[in-house]
Structure 1
Amino acid sequence: MKTVSIINLKGGVAKTLTTISMTHILSEKHGKRVLVVDNDKQGNTSKTFGIHSYDRKSIADLMLDRNANLGEIIQHTRYPRIDAIQANMSLLTANMQVMMDSSRPQQTRLRAALRKVSSQYDYCLIDNAPDINISIINALVASDEVIIPVKIDPYAFDGLRELKEQIDVTREELNPDLHLLGCLITCFQHIDGERQGEEWLRKNLNCPVFTTHIRYSGKVVESAFEGLPIAEYSKRSGAAHDYSDFVSEYLQSERG
């Protein structure tokens, strides 16, 4: 199972959209078995896949209980090859409790849990909150790869250096196999400033940038209200086509 963290310390850059789109396309177009992990207390990925609830166990239970029953935490979705671990506001409290618990390692709990089901899936995608907390560090420790969605605007690069440093520290101290795949430009509108921003990423952050850009589309907002992946809600939209191309580029990079 290849585990990929989708992360940026800035909100509104399409982290959740990217996670949902990749999950859906890997499963529906490429026939992959995917486990999607919602690691954001807002639970938006959980809501899209129809599993958000305060009555069922979540990633918070996985973080707190060494002997958590993954059969109770992992939920089937309406898509036959997609399973999910939900998140809700209980993750906020769980993060604090994990930090106060010195009885066992704090940073490796998610990795230990995911290893138990690694033979059941081809991919695990983790949607992370715009933060650095113990559950985010757990996600990086559990991951093989990191993708950073970036929306090019005047504040686009806030926190990117800090995030890259955290990825480097995690690789050096906790997970030597962690690899930053690159930045994915989202909400793209073909203006000169966006091209300049992309060049800044390459030169100043020394970060690879995916060739595929995700165009801005009003259909994305509509799909969120409908609780559907963009490729299912509007197959002809620019964003749907771009995410399909991006997943193909991602798979090609793995083969290359």
Structure 2
Amino acid sequence: MKTISIINLKGGVAKTLTTISMAHILSERHGKRVLVVDNDKQGNTSKTFGVHSYERGSVAELMLDRNADLADTICHTRYQRIDVIPANMKLLTANMQVMMDSSRPQQTRLRAALRKVQDQYDYCLIDNAPDINISTINALVASNEAIIPVKIDRYAFDGLQELKDQIAITREELNPALRLAGCLITCFQHVEGERQGEEWLRANMDCPVYKTHIRYSGKVVESSFEATPILEYSRRSGAAHDYCDFVAEYLDDERGC
């Protein structure tokens, strides 16, 4: 199982949309078995897949309980090859409790839990909150790769260097297998300012940038209200086409590694 963290310290850059779209396309177009980990207390990924709940286990329990029952935590979805470990507001308290618990390692708990199911899936995608806290550090420790969605605007690169530094620290101290797979430009509108921003990103941030851009589409907003992946909601939309192209580019890059 290859584990990928979708992460950015800035909100509103399409982290959740990217996680959901990538999972759906890997499953429906490429026949892959996908486990999605919702690692954001808002639980938007869980809501989209119809598994948000306070009645069963969540990622919070995996952070707190060494012996948490994954059968009670992993939720099957309406998609045959997509399962989800959901999140809810319990994760906020869990993060604080983990930080106060010195009885066992704090940063490796999610990795230990995911290893129990690594033979059941081809990919694990982790949708992270726009923050560096103990659960996002756990995600990076558990991951083989990180993908950073980036929306080109005035504040696009706020926190990007800090995130790169955190990835480097995690690789050096806790997870030598972790690599930054690349930045994915989202909400793209083909205006001059965005092209200049992309040029700056490529020239100054010293990180790979995917060739594919995810175009802005009003269908994305509609699909979020319908709790439906964009490819299913509007197959002909620009964003749906772009995410299909991005997944194909990602898989080509993976084969080339």
Cα distance, 1:199 vs. partner?
1.6
Percentage of identical aligned residues? 82
| Structure 2 match to 1:221 | 221
Distance in structure 1 (CA, Å) of the matches to 2:125 and 2:230: 17
Cα distance, 1:159 vs. partner?
0.4
In structure 1, give the amino acid aligned to 2:175.
N
In structure 1, give the amino acid aligned to 2:15.
K
1:185-233 deviation per Cα after TM superposition (whole angstroms, max 9, x unaligned): 0000001111111121122110110000000000000000000000000
- Provide the TM-score with structure 2 as the length reference: 0.99
Q: Size of the alignment, in residue pairs? A: 256
**Residues 184-203 of structure 1 aligned to structure 2 (within 5 Å):** 184-203=184-203
SS of aligned partner of 1:213: strand
1:2-28 deviation per Cα after TM superposition (whole angstroms, max 9, x unaligned): 000000000000000000000000000
RMSD: 0.5
Distance in structure 2 (CA, Å) of the matches to 1:202 and 1:221: 28
| Structure 2 match to 1:43 | 43
In structure 1, give the amino acid aligned to 2:76.
H
In structure 2, give the amino acid aligned to 1:69.
D
Which structure 1 residue ranges, 4+ long, deviate > 3 Å from structure 2?
A: none
Distance in structure 2 (CA, Å) of the matches to 1:22 and 1:166: 24
Distance in structure 1 (CA, Å) of the matches to 2:189 and 2:112: 41
Distance in structure 2 (CA, Å) of the matches to 1:199 and 1:159: 18
Query: In the alignment, is residue 77 of structure 1 matched against residue 77 of structure 2?
Result: yes
Distance in structure 2 (CA, Å) of the matches to 1:223 and 1:41: 21
Distance in structure 1 (CA, Å) of the matches to 2:154 and 2:137: 27
| Structure 1 match to 2:168 | 168
Distance in structure 2 (CA, Å) of the matches to 1:252 and 1:222: 30
In structure 2, give the amino acid aligned to 1:157.
F
| Structure 2 match to 1:57 | 57
In structure 2, give the amino acid aligned to 1:31.
G
SS of aligned partner of 2:32: coil
- Provide the TM-score with structure 1 as the length reference: 0.99
**Residues 132-171 of structure 1 aligned to structure 2 (within 5 Å):** 132-171=132-171
Distance in structure 1 (CA, Å) of the matches to 2:158 and 2:98: 28
